[in-house]
Amino acid sequence: MGKSTLAIKGGKRVIPAGMQQKWPPVDDVDRQMVLASLEGKNHAFGPNCTAFEQEFAAWNGNPYAITTNSGTAALHMGVVACGCGTGDEIIVPAYSWSSSATCILHHSCIPVFVDIDFSTINIDVTKIERAITPRTKAIIVVHLHGLPVAMEPVLAIARKHKLKVIEDACQAHGATYKGRKVGTWGDCGAFSFNQNKCLCSGEGGMFVTNSEEMLNKARQLWSFGETATPTQKRDYHVYAMGWMYRNNDLTAAFGRSQLTKLDGFLKREIENAQVLTEQLRGVPGLILPMTPPDCGHNYYNYTIRFDMEALGHAHDASDYRYKLIAALQAEGLETGVWQSFVLPAMTVFQAKDGFGHGHPWSSPHAGPVNYDVSQYPQAQKHCDRHTGMTTPLRAPNGAELAMLVAEAIRKVMENADQV
């Protein structure tokens, strides 16, 4: 068979089996720090947790940080730190990971969705203001896939309407807007250290803020509703609603060791993404990721979209997209649909029944909210046309793999008639 015969049709795959190296790279720095924690006296909230908070805050440029057991926890802490409560509305993009919106429900607040800008996949900043009501208290901006939202116009809207801004930077470690790192623009922010993230500690997260008042509010939620932290003398009295969102020493040790290498990891990922972009320019039927001039992308997820109109498949975009993905995977490329539903289409929002009896939407403090999915056409369009890549561009993989990724994509797109 010819070189152009797709692997799904019996041709030779482009990317050899076993060529892609696993994420994250683990070396002696990781082993030494994790084993030292294991041999230590405190495997709960121990000295590595405190050190991780200080080191991450210094790395990102925040005065304060709290290490958590997940990015989702950090987002919930942000909702509380911003003083949001039952029936308050929080604006959030219609396309993101579910935690970007369910964190709002965690404190009985009401998500109000705003469509995305198809070109950036981020919230359409021009549509935020029309979603504001007298019940709006905050805006969650999601720096999706490592591309920052344009923060200056968001903050101008927030100041005008006296709203708080929470940055969901769970995928955006090191990403910058106008030369300044995400997580330092809003009132507070959240990072994730899940397995797939650019800073991986297995699981875990970080809440960051420039406000001591917000720090204290978030910390109370983080540790059972108490006012003292595990490093202080505790009275074990619950002063407000609280969860157990703390991190543990072993995970924090792994996070600390990975943080020492994060700048190098991000540099490699950006370099690989640039190689891939150059190799894919002009490939028919593809829409490549774009980065506005003011933004520094970290390429957590290198996302391509299929131009279904050009491919003649606008009528069956989602189904055909899955066929293209199957062909790419057969060529050895690790790629797939990242999020297959727009958020307002998810059952918890359509049913408006988060906690039973219709709460929080049934609360007398809440107002009417419409989750008709037709209001979010750009989010749906993206949802039906994308595929993403996280690990192929990660260290220790280099330009050689990025070139093969491009070759696999070109092969499939130039022979799409075989799909």
Are 103 and 75 in contact by the 8 Å Cβ rule? The answer is: yes
Query: CA of 311: how far to CAs of 56, 281, 283, 286, 384, in Å?
Result: 45, 17, 12, 9, 14
Enclosing domain of residue 230: 28-260
Alpha-carbon gap, residue 163 to 156, rounded angstroms = 10
Residue 7 and residue 4: Cα distance in Å, rounded? Answer: 9
Percent of the chain whose predicted confidence (pLDDT) is above 70? 99
Return the pLDDT at 235.
Answer: 78
Whole-angstrom distance, CA of residue 363 vs CA of residue 383: 32
Q: Which two tokens stand for residue 148?
A: 């920052």
Look at residue 280 and tell me if it is in a domain.
no
Share of the chain above pLDDT 90, in %: 94
The enclosing H or E element of 92 equals strand 89-93
Q: Tokens representing 350?
A: 């359509």
CB neighbourhood size of 153 (10 A) = 13
Asked if 201 contacts 251 with a C-beta cutoff of 8 angstroms, the reply is: yes
How confident is residue 289, by pLDDT bands cut at 50, 70 and 90? very high
**pLDDT value at 2 more than 70:** no
The whole-angstrom separation of Cα 120 and Cα 220 is: 36
Please say if the pLDDT value at position 1 is more than 60: no
Tokens, residue 219:
């910390």
Residue 213: predicted pLDDT: 96
Instruction: Kindly state whether residue 377 falls inside one of the protein's structural domains.
Output: no
Helix (H) or strand (E) holding 184: none
Give the CATH number for residue 175: 3.40.640.10
Domain annotation covers residue 344? no
In a domain, 321, yes or no: no
Residues of the chain by 3-state class (helix, strand, coil), percent to 5: 40, 15, 45
- The SS3 call for residue 249 is helix
Q: Span 289-297, mean pLDDT?
A: 97
62/185 Cα distance (integer angstroms): 10
> How many other β-carbons are positioned within 10 Å of the β-carbon of residue 38?
11
- The answer to the question of residue 305 being in a domain is no
Task: Give pLDDT tens digits for 5-57.
Answer: 999 999 999 999 999 999 999 999 999 999 999 999 999 999 999 999 999 99
For the chain, give the mean pLDDT: 96
Q: Around Cβ 393, how many Cβ atoms within 10 Å?
A: 27
Is the confidence at residue 85, as pLDDT, over 90? yes
Sheet of 89-93, strands arranged across? 64-68, 205-209, 188-192, 164-168, 136-142, 89-93, 110-114
Instruction: Specify if 404 maps to a domain.
Output: no
Answer whether residue 225 shows pLDDT above 90.
Answer: no
H helix count then E strand count, the chain: 13, 13
Within a domain: residue 111?
yes
417 φ/ψ sector (left φ>0, alpha ψ -120 to 50, else beta): alpha
Give per-residue burial for 167-196: e unless 16+ CB within 10 Å, then b.
Answer: bbbbbbbbbbbeeebbbbbbbbbbbbbbeb
Tokens of 284: 């028919």
The answer as to whether 353 is a domain residue is no
Domain count for the chain: 1
Amino acid at 163: L
